[in-house]
Structure 1
Amino acid sequence: MERILVTGASGQLGAVLTKALQLKFGAEHVIASDLQFNKSFKGVFETLDVTNLEALKTIVGTYKVTRIYHLAAILSAKGEATPLKTWEINMSTFFNVLEVSRLLGVERVFFPSSIAVFGPNVSRMNTPQSSNLSPLTVYGVSKVAGENWANYYFNKYDLDVRSIRYPGIIGHQSLPGGGTTDYAVDIYHKAVKGEPFDCFLKASTRLPMIYIDDAVRASMELMEAPSKNLSVRTAYNLAGMSFSPEEIVRSIKKSYPNFEVTYRPDFRQKIADSWPMSIDDSKAREDWGWKPKYDLDTMSQVMIDNLKRYYNSVIA
């Protein structure tokens, strides 16, 4: 039976992915970890700073870990405030995961990449898998480097590293975490609470997005795919849906017709303008059968229903 370690398990993606892995493999076979203890997790939880090589090595050895989902990182918008720290944390943690996996025989490693790897010199519509990668953020730079190191460890050491270039991830389970696409999470919270929303992007800024259940499913499906089927050892393009702030507002107004939004673009607008507007994920579809289940209106209804239950329970 697999023994799975998740780093950054308390984050937006990590919290949902960890619970999905527990359902599939059993809670006793999934080790959740993060910088601080999280009592909301059932099962095994280890406090872990992934910049500490020896601490990581101890956990992997003690639990005889066979797979690692390495999700610990500083995201795009937050990363621009402290670029050198972001590079140091994002890369040192991944190097530690790669080395420990190589030395202790971890069978598979998952590394999350991002549409942040793309820069303004690519075709922004239906951006191809093999595009020039010239990102404008340190987060994107760290992800490009991570993709190349994943490919290097696969070719040099036969370490089975797998990766996805996530679009913006939208989920109701946690608050925004510092990403440029996180307006599309916050906007639902404001709508359900009956508050106006101040958007930091222009109304027409179209970006690729994905509902969190699809993102989790894609991650697990990629990790379950036979190695012989995989033709990409940097990171796979992944698409869910693409929309702009004005389109998500129209979708929300089907439930909240009086929802008010203002647009005040800030430094994140430049970041968004350097990213794709839509993604060609044909390689993921061909190699491991990827297919999204959620479109914008389906996602909006699920987000609103879940957030209404959450805020009603808080008030109660």
Structure 2
Amino acid sequence: MRRILITGALGQIGCELANRLRQLYGDDAVLTTDIRQDLTEATLSGPFRLLDVTDGNAFYEAAQEHRADTIIHLAALLSATAETKPMLAWQLNMGGLLNALETARALGCQLFAPSSIAAFGPDTPKNGTPQDTLQRPATMYGINKVAGELLCDYYFHKYGIDTRGLRFPGLISHAAPPGGGTTDYAVDMYVNAVKTGKYTSYIDKGTFLDMMYMPDAIESVIKLMEADASRLKHRNAFNVTAMSVDPEAIAVSIRRRLPNFELDYGIDPLRQAIADGWPDAIDVSAAREEWDFCAEYDLDKMTDDMLSSLFGKQLYGKKGAILL
């Protein structure tokens, strides 16, 4: 990676990944793009361009003019939102990915396209979910992700495009608000613990889901993209995770710092049904063996950093912070 284009750069992953890549490769080396523009660091610290990823010509022009050798394609409609707008999800998630792949093919770019634990389904083994296993998701988002994994494999085998990807678990971050995912309750819980001292979870107790703190997710993307290609057997959909938790486990971790934190439940049937179809805990041995994946943050270490960061934003009102 030397000249990088990021789509969906103002989303939860993109804003932090853009900042990290600019630290590593230089501000001008990273072109951030999104369908909207704001005044956060992702748009102000280096080149930014408005881009609708469903416009293939505009996608190609942006990558060509930037002289990109790497595309990190993050623009997508996430799980819960996709389930309420399935046709839009298909058009954006699949149309945008095809345009990313075709641009990468035309320009010879390396391509990162994220997958998700949503690519699994109700019949997938729930615990120790293997790297290679049954994938029959019951949501539009999950269907998009399975199709995306296969498309990236196809472009690698047919055209030799260096496609790589991760099956992300729920990602927890204090830098940007969540964007319509099923695991967003975890971020909301930390924000409300600082803001009000209480939270009503839309996911039920005992619903275990894989999670990862955003710094680990960012470093995983970079490590995979810089990995020796000869080691990669799976390439496009590596299982990665740092912990398997339910709302009660997060609440217990929060109460180490905020003993009076209150958690109750108001279950959202849509998001609960989605979560029930996902694994409890996935196996990451392929990522460890093929590119030395290792997560730094466990639940308590993540909680301490989340709360410290959120309290700091509440006190000092940093630009781009979640408003508390």
- Conserved? CA contact 1:38–1:45, under 8 Å: no
Residue 88, structure 1, aligned to residue 91, structure 2: yes
- The AA in structure 2 aligned to 1:168 is G
Please identify, of 36-45 and 173-182, the stretch whose mean Cα deviation from structure 2 is larger: 36-45
CA–CA distance in structure 2, aligned partners of residues 233 and 219 of structure 1: 12
1:235 aligned partner: 237
CA–CA distance in structure 1, aligned partners of residues 303 and 106 of structure 2: 45
1:73 aligned partner: 76
- How far off is 1:260 after superposition? 1.2
1:193 aligned partner: 195
CA–CA distance in structure 1, aligned partners of residues 139 and 236 of structure 2: 19
Partner of 1:242: helix, strand, or coil?
strand
Mapping of residues 102-181 of structure 1, within 5 Å = 102-106=105-109, 108-181=110-183
CA–CA distance in structure 2, aligned partners of residues 233 and 286 of structure 1: 12
Mapping of residues 6-21 of structure 1, within 5 Å = 6-21=6-21
- How far off is 1:196 after superposition? 2.2
- Conserved? CA contact 1:154–1:233, under 8 Å: no
Q: Give the % identical residues.
A: 43
- The AA in structure 2 aligned to 1:280 is D
1:4 aligned partner: 4
CA–CA distance in structure 1, aligned partners of residues 287 and 235 of structure 2: 12
Residue 44, structure 1, aligned to residue 47, structure 2: yes
CA–CA distance in structure 1, aligned partners of residues 25 and 236 of structure 2: 27
Partner of 2:49: helix, strand, or coil?
strand
2:320 aligned partner: none
**After TM superposition, where is structure 1 displaced by more than 6 Å over at least 4 residues in a row?**
none
Number of equivalences: 315
Runs of 5+ consecutive residues of structure 1 not aligned to the other structure? none
Partner of 2:112: helix, strand, or coil?
strand
1:212 aligned partner: 214
Partner of 1:262: helix, strand, or coil?
strand
Deviations 1:240-260 (A, max 9, x none): 111110000000011111111
1:269 aligned partner: 272
CA–CA distance in structure 1, aligned partners of residues 58 and 78 of structure 2: 23
- How far off is 1:39 after superposition? 2.5
1:226 pairs, out of 225, 228, 247, with 228
- The AA in structure 1 aligned to 2:118 is A
- Conserved? CA contact 1:111–1:161, under 8 Å: yes
TM-score in terms of structure 1 length: 0.98
Please identify, of 209-218 and 234-243, the stretch whose mean Cα deviation from structure 2 is larger: 234-243
- How far off is 1:38 after superposition? 2.9
Partner of 1:33: helix, strand, or coil?
strand
Deviations 1:39-94 (A, max 9, x none): 22311111111111111111111111100000000000011111111011100000
- How far off is 1:312 after superposition? 1.2
2:63 aligned partner: 60
Partner of 1:204: helix, strand, or coil?
coil
- Conserved? CA contact 1:113–1:235, under 8 Å: yes
TM-score in terms of structure 2 length: 0.95
- How far off is 1:2 after superposition? 1.1
- The AA in structure 1 aligned to 2:39 is K
- The AA in structure 1 aligned to 2:82 is G
Deviations 1:188-224 (A, max 9, x none): 0000012421100111111000000000000000000
- Conserved? CA contact 2:197–2:260, under 8 Å: no
CA–CA distance in structure 1, aligned partners of residues 236 and 298 of structure 2: 27
2:293 aligned partner: 290
- How far off is 1:121 after superposition? 0.5
- Conserved? CA contact 2:54–2:91, under 8 Å: no
1:33 aligned partner: 33
CA–CA distance in structure 2, aligned partners of residues 5 and 220 of structure 1: 14
- The AA in structure 2 aligned to 1:74 is L
CA–CA distance in structure 2, aligned partners of residues 118 and 139 of structure 1: 11
What root-mean-square deviation, in Å, do the aligned CA atoms of Structure 1 and Structure 2 show? 1.3
